[in-house]
Amino acid sequence: MNLILNSGIIDEIGMYDYWVDHAKTGANLQNMMLDDKASEYSDIEAAEILSMLPDFKDADVLEIGAGIGRFTSKIAPICKSITAVEFIEKFSAKNQETNGHFSNATFVNADVNDFDLPENSVDFIFTNWLMMYLKDDQIHTFIKKCIKWIRPGGHFFFRESCNHQSGSKPRTFNPTVYRSPKQYNDLVTETWVKKNDLYEGFEVVKLSTVQTYIDIKNNPNQKCWLLKHYRRTDLSENHGEATFQQFLDKQQYSMNGILRYERVFGKDYVSSGGLETTTAFCKLIDMKPGQKVLDIGCGVGGSAFHLNQVYGCDVRGIDLSNNMIEIAQQKLVNYGYKNVVFEVADATLVDYPENSFDLVYSRDTILHISDKKALFTNFYKWLKPGGKVFITDYCAGPKDSWNDEFTAYVASRGYHLHTPDEYNDILASVGFNMDPNPDATSLWLDVLDAEKSKITGSEKENILKDFTQQDLKALLDGWSVKIERVNAGYQKWGKFFGRK
């Protein structure tokens, strides 16, 4: 069905006039992308964007901000139906002219602020450069609509220019809002709607950077989000935050907390032993140049940089903490390393093709995940035949031996701990051939003692130059009580190495 509906345009900040002005010389790629050289990279960039999308075969798709239809033409042949919404009439008409032969496509000329659909109408919502043209309150309203429109378990994808302008076309007036990735993340994931007895909202599956813009423009500010629709009975399950990601970023892995940890673990590291343990473990793994690595819980990038620079590996680092990835990406820009990619991603929601990686590597992060077997099943699927898995992680003594303090600590951090042998057995149960003797607690105790000595000795003055006495005390107290727990047998450390 091909239909154009003209809606009243809400234009409080001149956005309609801004786009009409850019469209006056034609509904073409350069005007829509606001870049005189758009035709030189558009196909490469579009292919990259499409590679980030979930499976939308047989899905009812809503595309908002469809422009002249460069994505409509790619989505329509695959999906069950597509509704392409665009508020500039000239662009919408061009989309219909180009893609009107698709019988499953509907074309709507409307402002998103006016547009509406019935509840549970679509499976997938796709936007490419939309919310940068909305004010914060309009985004909140739009996200609430998306929550209403999308069916349970559906996906929402959006892409935005962050921090500053990306296109080359001159602009005498520019009402675009160039937010930071964190601002977008918070605006979208903090919006939840109560429907009947359930809360509905979106959680991040992954947040990626458009590599095409890095390669062609040296611009790391084009960001893409893939989110999944969730229903919850209670919003308090994430320690008072709307999502577990927000719990990490606002509490355990605040910017201040991360930078404090890095002073103890060493430059580029937020995992036990820093470069020293990474060097030893990577020698054990024995990677080869060109092999592909998935670094889960990559932190601020240390292990990814080491595997890339020392072993010549192609590394994809993922972490649920937006703060971690923000720091890692800035380091990557500063260092200029190639074949390293960082993205915010939930390891329990993201998916990769079978046989994608030679190594799945993770340091002290899977402790946050309750269903480890499901995650390890994915590891096994993602690894190539003969591929390797290497994990260090917090573990514990038998649960019936925990004291009240350790029990409260585990609960406050949202940890899900096993004994080292139990952990090793879970990995073996999904098919991995695991090395025996996974308990590395004695090594960890040596590492903890050395790190505590840095806090009280060699690094003390440097820490106090950039942080407060309270920050120093928090570090010292954290390491001291951890050492006490290890000596008492409550807390342990596991080292897990297996092969597919």
Residues 125 and 161 in one domain: yes
- Asked if the structure places residue 8 within a domain, the reply is no
149 and 254 part of one domain: no
Q: What is the pLDDT of residue 387?
A: 98
Q: For helices 255-265 and 441-456, what crossing angle results, to 10°?
A: 100
- CATH number assigned to the domain comprising residue 88: 3.40.50.150
Q: Per residue in 225-249, pLDDT tens? A: 999 999 888 776 676 777 888 878 8
Considering its fold, how many domains does the chain have in total? 2
Question: Within this chain, do residues 400 and 258 fall inside the same structural domain, yes or no?
Answer: yes
Domain presence at residue 241: no
pLDDT, one tens digit per residue, over 132-165 is 999 999 999 999 999 999 999 999 999 999 988 7
pLDDT of residue 171: 65
Name the domain boundary from 185, 214, 235.
235
- With b for 16 or more beta-carbon neighbours within 10 A and e for fewer, the 307-336 pattern comes to bbeebebbbbbbbbbbbbbbbbbebbeeee
- Please say whether the beta carbons of 201 and 147 come within 8 A: yes
Which pLDDT does position 1 carry in this prediction?
45
Look over the chain and give the mean of its residue pLDDT values, rounded to a whole number.
Answer: 91
- Are 224 and 254 part of one and the same domain? no
pLDDT digits (tens, 9 = 90+) for 414-427: 899 999 999 999 99
Same domain, 211 and 287: no
In a shared domain, residues 315 and 464 = yes
- Can you give the pTM of this predicted structure? 0.86
Judged against a pLDDT cut of 60, whether residue 13 lies above it is answered with no
217 and 94 within one domain: yes
Phi, psi of 193 (to 5 degrees): -120, 135
pLDDT at 305 over 50: yes
List, for residues 457-493, the tens digit of each pLDDT value: 988 998 999 999 999 999 999 999 999 999 999 999 9
C-alpha to C-alpha distance for 56 and 73, rounded to whole angstroms: 14
Residues 197 and 111 in one domain: yes
Choose the final residue of a domain: 235, 266, 285: 235
The share of the chain scoring above pLDDT 70, in percent, equals 93
Q: How confident is the model at residue 32 (pLDDT cuts 50, 70, 90)?
A: low
pLDDT tens digit string along 310-365? Answer: 999 999 999 999 999 999 999 998 999 999 999 999 999 999 999 999 999 999 99
User: What is the pLDDT confidence band of residue 8, given thresholds at 50, 70 and 90?
Assistant: very low
Q: Are 67 and 86 in contact (CB under 8 A)?
A: yes
Residue 169 is predicted with a pLDDT of 64
For residue 99, the enclosing domain spans 15-235
Length of the chain: 500
pLDDT for the residue 473: 94
pLDDT, one tens digit per residue, over 290-300 is: 999 999 999 99
* Residue 362: inside a domain: yes
pLDDT band of residue 254 (cuts 50, 70, 90) is confident
In a domain, 98, yes or no: yes
